[in-house]
Amino acid sequence: MQNAQLHKQLREVIDFLCHHGSSIRFLSSGIWVDREWDTPKQSTKPMFEIIYLISGQTSIYLNGITHAVKKNDLHLLEISGNSMGGGGHFQMYYLDFSFDIPALSDQFYGCCKRLSVNPECINLAGLESYFLEMHFENIAEQEFRQQKILCSLQDLFICLYRRCAVSSEHSAGHSGRQQFLYDVLNYLEQNYMYPLCLKDISGLVHLNPRYLSRLFKEATGLTIQQYLIRLRIGKAKKLLSATSHSITDIALETGFCDCQHFCKVFKQLEGITPTQYGRSIPSG
C-alpha cells in the first residue's frame, strides 16, 4: 500500500472515531507476553481488536487468515470467529472494543478491512504510551472511562496519520530521510521531559545540525524547537486535564526549566494561562 493510500485510510478511521466514538464500548485490554491463546468468539456483536507488538515476533490466526506480526507492528482487526495465536517470544499490547449500533460496526469494518489490506505498512516505534494510557484507564473504571480511552485512541490514530504524512512527502528514493525523521520524532516523544539541544539530536541521526534543521522544517513545517514546544504543551494539557499536579510540577514534568517560562509559552500558544485552562476542564 502506498503511503498516500494509507494516509487516506487513516484519515477515514479518525473521522469515523470523531463522529461515532460515543457508540464504542471498550472491552478488554492489557499486555500479552510469550503465551499462546485460543479464544472463542465471546459476543454476538462484531468485535474489533487493535494490537501493537513492542518486542519479538509472533503470528495471529484470525478469520481464516494468518497474520505475521513483528516488533513495532500495529494491526487493526475485526474478530468474527475464534482468535488464535502464539509462538515465539513477544510482548504485545491489545485493546478490544465493539459498537452499540450494528450499522456502525458494518461501517467500521469497512475502514478496518481497507486499512488491513497490507497491515505491515504500519510499523512505528514509540506508540507504547498510548496503549498504556488506554489500559490503565480501562482497568481503573473511573467516571468518564469510555471518554478518556476514546481520546487516547483518537490520539493514537492522529499520531499515525501525522507520521505517515511526514513519510508521504518523500519518494521511495528518500527512505534514508524517512528513517531519520522517524528517529527524531521518536526521540522527541520519548525524551521531551528532559533538556534537549540540537547538537545531541543531530548526533543521534549523524547529520550536521544545520542540515538536520533544514530537512526537519521541510518535512514538518516547523523547526525542531517549535515542534518540541508544541509537543510539551500538548503533554502539559493532558496533565492539566487528568491530574491534580501543581503548575510548577507540570512545567518541570514536561521539560520546561521553570514555571514562569512555561506559563508564558502556554499562553502564547493557547491564548489562556495553564490555570485558566485547568479551570475550564469539567470536573468528573
32 or 179, which is more confident?
Answer: 32
Q: What CATH code is carried by the domain that includes residue 121? A: 2.60.120.10
Report the pLDDT averaged over residues 209-216.
90
Distance CA 282, CA 40 (A): 40
Residues 57, 97, 64, 36, CA torsion sign: positive
Distance CA 266, CA 263 (A): 5
Which residue bears the cell 521553570? 258
Is 119 part of a structural domain of the chain?
A: yes
Dig out the grid coordinates for 148 from the structure. Answer: 478518556
Is 10 part of a structural domain of the chain?
A: yes
Is 222 part of a structural domain of the chain?
A: yes
How many domains are contained in the chain? 2
pLDDT digits (tens, 9 = 90+) for 2-41: 567 777 888 888 999 999 989 999 988 888 887 777 766 6
Do 192 and 112 fall into the same domain? Answer: no
Residue 153 — very low, low, confident or very high, per pLDDT cuts 50/70/90?
very high
Do 200 and 271 fall into the same domain? Answer: yes
67 or 26, which is more confident?
Answer: 26
Which residue bears the cell 510548577? 248
Residue 119 — very low, low, confident or very high, per pLDDT cuts 50/70/90?
very low
Is 261 part of a structural domain of the chain?
A: yes
Show the domain range for 191.
169-284
Do 123 and 74 fall into the same domain? Answer: yes
Residues 245, 251, 252, 253, CA torsion sign: positive
Residues 46 and 78 sit within 8 Å (Cβ to Cβ): yes
- Whole-number pLDDT of residue 117: 46
Three-state DSSP at 72 gives coil
Do 111 and 26 fall into the same domain? Answer: yes
Considering the entire predicted model, what is its pTM?
A: 0.58
Is 226 part of a structural domain of the chain?
A: yes
Is 148 part of a structural domain of the chain?
A: no
Is it the case that residue 267 has pLDDT exceeding 80? yes
pLDDT digits (tens, 9 = 90+) for 233-254: 988 988 887 788 999 999 999 9
- Whole-number pLDDT of residue 170: 45
Is 246 part of a structural domain of the chain?
A: yes
Do 237 and 282 fall into the same domain? Answer: yes
